[in-house]
Structure 1
Amino acid sequence: MKAYAIAYLRNVRMGADIVEYLERIDDTLAPYDGHFIVHGAGPESVEGEWEGAPIVIEFPDYDHLRGWYESAAYREILPLRTRNSDGVVIFVEGVDRSHKATDVLA
């Protein structure tokens, strides 16, 4: 089942560290078959308040996601982001295309 790293970043302070992080993150994703599916687009808030940037990275499964996040290559660049932004990052497994809302009731 596909898995997703989802970030809600606020107060991103653009500078040399963030630029370096952006220049290096794709190389950390490649060995784990991770790729951005949401990144850089400004969201349209249709319910409630939203301030920040949504980012979603897709992986083939949870093991690939965990492997990427815990890899030495990603751990090396992670402080470049965390020192220069505020936010929340979560990991979540996806559902297949046959999933129905009522499946969570089972």
Structure 2
Amino acid sequence: MTAYAVAHLKTPNPHPDVLEYLERIQATLDPFGGRFLVHGAQVEVREGDWPGTIVIIGFPDLDAARGWYDSPAYQDILHLRTDHIDGAALLVEGVGPDYDPAKTAAALRR
């Protein structure tokens, strides 16, 4: 099942280290089948408060997402971003093509 790395970057900042991170990140994603789905987009807030921007990277599955995040190649560059941008990152598994929210509601009602 597809999985995603999602980052809420609260203080995007074009620091030289962040630019180096951007130049190097794709090489860390390639071995794990990762690709950017959302990056640097202007967010349109409809509910609540959302300072900053969002990044979404897709992976074939959660094991691939974990492998990428924990890889020595990614860990080597991670500080280039986290030293200069406040935010949060998470890995999450997506739902399958047959997902039905009504079935989820029914299960929760039981």
TM-score interval (norm. to shorter):
over 0.9
Take 2:87 and 2:65, find their aligned partners in 1: how far apart are those partners?
Answer: 19
Residue equivalent to 2:33: 33
1:102 CA displacement: 2.7
Take 1:70 and 1:84, find their aligned partners in 2: how far apart are those partners?
Answer: 20
Residue equivalent to 1:49: 49
1:40 CA displacement: 1.1
Take 1:78 and 1:37, find their aligned partners in 2: how far apart are those partners?
Answer: 19
Give unpaired runs (5+ residues) of structure 2: none
Give runs of ≥4 in structure 1 deviating > 4 Å: none
Take 1:8 and 1:75, find their aligned partners in 2: how far apart are those partners?
Answer: 18
RMSD: 1.0
Partner amino acid, structure 2, of 1:67: G
- Count of matched residue pairs: 106
Give TM-score scaled by structure 2 length. 0.91
Give unpaired runs (5+ residues) of structure 1: none
Residue equivalent to 1:18: 18
Give TM-score scaled by structure 1 length. 0.94
Take 2:104 and 2:70, find their aligned partners in 1: how far apart are those partners?
Answer: 30
